[in-house]
Amino acid sequence: MAIFKGAGVAIVTPFKEDLSVDYEQLEKLIDYQIDNGTDSIIICGTTGESSTMSHEEHIEVIRACASYVNKRVPVVAGTGSNCTDEAIYLTKEAQKAGADAALVVTPYYNKATQKGLAEYYKTIAASVDIPLIMYNVPGRTGCNIAPATAAQIVKEADNVVAMKEASGNISQVAELMNRTNGDIDLYSGNDDQIVPIMSLGGLGVISVLSNVVPKETHDICAKYLAGDVKGSLELQMKYLDLCKALFCEVNPIPVKKAVQLMGMCNGLVRRPLTEMEDENAVKLAAEMKKLGIIA
């Protein structure tokens, strides 16, 4: 059974003025997502700025999210690392904290061979009981999970059940689905490729866009799953320019600004990220106004 079908939001982590986590605001964001049809909350991912968190803070944010969501939708915790032992620790702690699944990015900076990637995922999987989603985002990590490697991993590790695919390489995704014979749950990691990924057997998206238009992102997936491919595609195209605006600077800078423009956080990011350039912020606001998201 899939962890979720539809749109999972890679939710931002709101901060107070002193850059500590604003848990009260996080609860409001979670409610906003669930009230608007979001199918899963992905906490402490790239968009959640987990790379700037201490281990203790990372685990506490997962715990707070899982507790507040209270099984209304599945909670998926980001727990990957470029150190296998650290990834094991975070994944174990995420399970204890109440996460329903873990999103495990490939090792970054030190990278890994394909053999190393297989060992990394199988070792982490063996340490926990919750399902794992492999996260393939070579543009950030410099490391790509080859389709043959992914197929080997899902065959040999029962609880590695899914892939968040953000390589942008549709041909590679097609090969992945062919090699796994449908034995892997596929999620788009790119908001501008939801429909193409679903056409290859994907179940939905792990989305940045959902922070801004949760109902509409859910509907892109729901329409496709219901057989309304035309309706799904129309929504995908409607929000294509917004997707571009949300990635005109490194994620999560623009989406944090978008959520601020919606009056739902102060937009602060932790260093080394900086606030959005004024010129780009104006373009983002204009696109949001055009779509009626803000006045």
Beta-ladder partners of 75 = 41
CA distance 16 to 30: 17
In the set 92, 164, 223, 256, the catalytic residue is 164
| 50 phi/psi in degrees, rounded to 5 | -65, -25
- The question of whether 135 is a catalytic residue gets the answer yes
**CB-side neighbour CA atoms (13 Å) of 134:** 36
Token pair of 62 as six digits? 């997962």
Specify the amino acid at residue 116.
G
Token pair of 31 as six digits? 């409610």
In the set 120, 121, 135, 187, the catalytic residue is 135
Place of tokens 């057989």: 227
CA distance 236 to 78: 26
Radius of gyration of the chain (CA): 18
Active site residues: 135, 164
